[in-house]
Amino acid sequence: MSRVVLISGSLRRGSVNSAALRAVRRIVESAPGAPEVISLPIGRLPFYDGDVERSGAATAVQAARALVADADALVISTPSYNGAVPGVLKNALDWLSRPDGASPLAGRVVAVLSASPSGRGAIDAQPALMDLLDACEAVVVEHPPVAIRRADRRLDAAGEMSDPEVLAALRGLVDATFEAVAILAGQRRSALA
């Protein structure tokens, strides 16, 4: 495992989803072999436009594709906006689902979590996100759902996710992600043998 890419579905500076991913970063970076962890800033991507794609796609899109193509795994944390993923995240996944037949998401291990100040932890956005990832042929990490409820109350004075219960759940998700990457690598090795 050499590279993990993090995607927050929220652009807000004080985002609880981005705080959850900063905690994921700390967990991954403390793992043996410490893979490189890179955040993908999806707010810089233009709206998907087939004409822009046909004319060579924007630099930010090409950079995002290259980053994902080089990653062993992605971790996506999403809020729920009216029961679905925010448009900015859907837009990023639409770009990453292209070009048709050569999406960098295809065969990529992706772990999903959600966070919200509400009592449901934005869990209602997770099925739609998983359906989207399935459509992109990503390998969604199998793990009991991680939905951080009352997420704003789990932050410390520095705005970091420090709640032990949350950190334990995130550690479990990171472990499952590492395992999924190892299993997939083993399967690819045996397919080549």
Measured from the CB of residue 60, what is the shortest distance to ligand FMN in angstroms?
Answer: 21
CB neighbourhood size of 177 (10 A): 23
Q: Does 188 help bind ligand FMN (rule: CB under 6 A)?
A: no
According to CB under 6 A, which one of 43, 46, 83, 186 is a site residue for ligand FMN? 83
| DSSP-based helix, strand, coil % in the chain, nearest 5 | 45, 15, 40
| Contacts (CB under 6 A) with ligand FMN, residues 119-178 | 120, 122
By the 10 Å C-beta count (0-12 exposed, 13-18 middle, 19+ buried), 118 is classed as: middle
149: amino acid identity, one letter: R
Q: Which two tokens stand for residue 11?
A: 């652009």
Binding positions for ligand FMN, 88-117, rule CB under 6 A: 116-117
Q: Please, what is the minimum distance in Å from the beta carbon of residue 115 to ligand FMN?
A: 6
- Pair of tokens at residue 58: 């924007």
Total residues in contact with ligand FMN, by rule CB under 6 A = 15
Q: What's the rounded Cα separation, in Å, for the pair 179 and 185?
A: 10
Near ligand FMN in 6-35, by CB under 6 A: 10, 12, 15-17
Given the complex with ligand FMN, which of 19 and 28 has the nearer CB atom?
A: 19
Which listed residue (25, 60, 91, 118) binds ligand FMN by CB under 6 A?
Answer: 118
CA angle 177, 182, 184 (to 5 degrees): 95
57 to 6, 30, 48, 90, 94: CA distances (angstroms):
22, 36, 9, 17, 13
Closer Cβ to ligand FMN, 82 or 190, answer by number: 82
List the one residue from 55, 59, 82, 190 that touches ligand FMN (CB under 6 A): 82
Name the residues that contact ligand FMN, by CB under 6 A: 10, 12, 15-17, 79-83, 116-118, 120, 122
